[in-house]
């Protein structure tokens, strides 16, 4: 291979676009990457003005800057600190980074422009910024809005039993149920934000939920997870998270418990949730309203069942079972 052949092979093998431009702004050489980048054949690029590769609105300024560079040539990035764009033959613009250097051929100064299409990099940066915004919004909803709503529900729960007359107690109970519904909807929104961005597993979400509720319970519940929970259909995952939320909220409000255990398993097309506590238990005929009614409704909607009974030796145990297929 001759020296010229080697030089040509290196130019063609470059991962970046390369063009050679004379002092008049005419392209005298281009590699295949540059041709593909601008949507032209190499023969079309060679002999054309380099200004044609610049978006129309920037061409006048580009011609001036090109003349200034020829007068004072030096190896440097083009347009340092500026956003640069190339333009294809069909008028599509794309972001580029360009490095400039010079070479003298046959006694004439030529500019070597190394051009890199940074569309993918900028798209990745935009996606990262979007994900960070979503993460911030989800964190603010979780740490501020949900916590305040939960505290408001606890305060209402504390005064409900003392409220008179009875219809006031019922109105307070209805307001507490509305707060629970709002919290569930916000949690679902947070989960969807996580799914649109960096995927958060269902297991991670449940762990986070249980840990958060520990602050209100005064103890850390024992959590056991089994089976492939992270590949459940979204509509089942949403209902599971809502039921765990409801079950833990009921322990906080009604149980006076000092310990609780949560067991979630997925196997053989069935999802099982068992929540037990050592609290004061439930009446022999519990009212099917508010949280309990919601959990039963969710199970029924999914073709499953929800039962509540005594725990051993004391407390309450919830069984929630639904099919996953």
43-77 per-position pLDDT tens digit: 999 999 999 999 988 888 888 888 888 888 888 88
How high is the pLDDT of residue 10?
Answer: 64
Residue 104 pLDDT > 50: yes
Residue 258 pLDDT > 60: yes
Mean pLDDT check: name the lowest of 7-11, 208-212, 302-306.
7-11
Q: Which letter, b or e, does each residue of 178-209 get, where b requires 16 or more Cβ atoms within 10 Å of its Cβ? A: ebbeebbebbbebbebbeebeebebeebbeeb
Residue range 277-284: mean pLDDT, rounded: 85
Alpha-carbon Rg for the chain in angstroms: 33
pLDDT band at residue 199 under the 50/70/90 scheme: low
Q: Which tokens is 244 given? A: 């765990």
For residues 168, 170, 174, 175, the Cα torsion angle rounded to the nearest 10 degrees is 30
Residue range 216-231: mean pLDDT, rounded: 91
Q: Is 224 helix (H, G, I), strand (E, B) or coil?
A: strand
Distance of alpha carbon 250 from alpha carbon 316, whole angstroms: 10
Closest of 148, 241, 229, 150 to residue 192, by C-alpha? 241
| 270-to-227, 263, 305 alpha-carbon distances in Å | 10, 14, 11
How high is the pLDDT of residue 3?
Answer: 45
pLDDT band at residue 15 under the 50/70/90 scheme: confident
Distance of alpha carbon 155 from alpha carbon 80, whole angstroms: 59
Residue range 246-260: mean pLDDT, rounded: 89
Distance of alpha carbon 299 from alpha carbon 307, whole angstroms: 10
Helix axes 290-301, 166-196, angle to 10 degrees: 40
Q: Is 128 helix (H, G, I), strand (E, B) or coil?
A: helix
User: What percent of the chain shows pLDDT beyond 70?
Assistant: 91
pTM exceeds 0.75, yes or no: no
Distance of alpha carbon 161 from alpha carbon 168, whole angstroms: 10
User: What percent of the chain shows pLDDT beyond 90?
Assistant: 39
Q: Which tokens is 47 given? A: 């002999």
Residue 240: Cβ-neighbour burial (10 angstroms; 0-12, 13-18, 19+): buried
Higher pLDDT, 2 or 73: 73
């Amino acid at each position: 291979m001759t020296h010229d052949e080697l030089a040509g092979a290196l130019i063609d093998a470059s991962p970046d676009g390369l063009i050679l431009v004379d002092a008049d702004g005419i392209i005298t050489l281009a590699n295949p990457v540059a041709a593909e980048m601008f949507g032209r054949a190499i023969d079309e690029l060679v002999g054309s003005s380099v200004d044609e590769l610049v978006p129309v609105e920037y061409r006048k300024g580009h011609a001036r800057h090109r003349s200034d560079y020829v007068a004072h040539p030096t190896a440097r990035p083009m347009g340092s600190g500026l956003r640069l764009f190339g333009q294809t033959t069909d008028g599509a613009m794309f972001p580029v980074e360009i490095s400039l250097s010079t070479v003298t051929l046959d006694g004439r100064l030529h500019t070597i422009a190394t051009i890199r299409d940074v569309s993918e990099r900028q798209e990745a940066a935009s996606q990262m910024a979007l994900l960070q915004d979503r993460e911030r919004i989800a964190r603010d909803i979780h740490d501020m809005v949900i916590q305040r709503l939960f505290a408001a529900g606890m305060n209402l729960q504390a005064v409900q039993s003392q409220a008179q007359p009875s219809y006031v107690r019922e109105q307070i109970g209805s307001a507490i149920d509305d707060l629970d519904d709002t919290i569930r909807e916000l949690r679902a929104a947070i989960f969807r934000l996580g799914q649109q961005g960096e995927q958060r597993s269902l297991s991670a979400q449940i762990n986070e939920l249980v840990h958060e509720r520990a602050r209100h319970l005064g103890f850390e519940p024992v959590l056991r997870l089994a089976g492939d929970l992270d590949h459940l259909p979204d509509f089942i995952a949403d209902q599971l998270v809502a039921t765990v939320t409801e079950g833990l909220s009921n322990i906080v409000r009604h149980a006076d418990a000092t310990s609780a255990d949560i067991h979630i398993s997925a196997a053989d097309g069935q999802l099982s949730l068992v929540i037990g506590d050592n609290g004061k238990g439930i009446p022999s005929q519990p009212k099917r309203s508010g949280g309990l009614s919601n959990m039963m409704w969710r199970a029924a909607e999914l073709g499953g069942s929800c039962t509540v009974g005594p725990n051993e030796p004391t407390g309450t145990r919830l069984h929630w079972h639904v099919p996953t297929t």
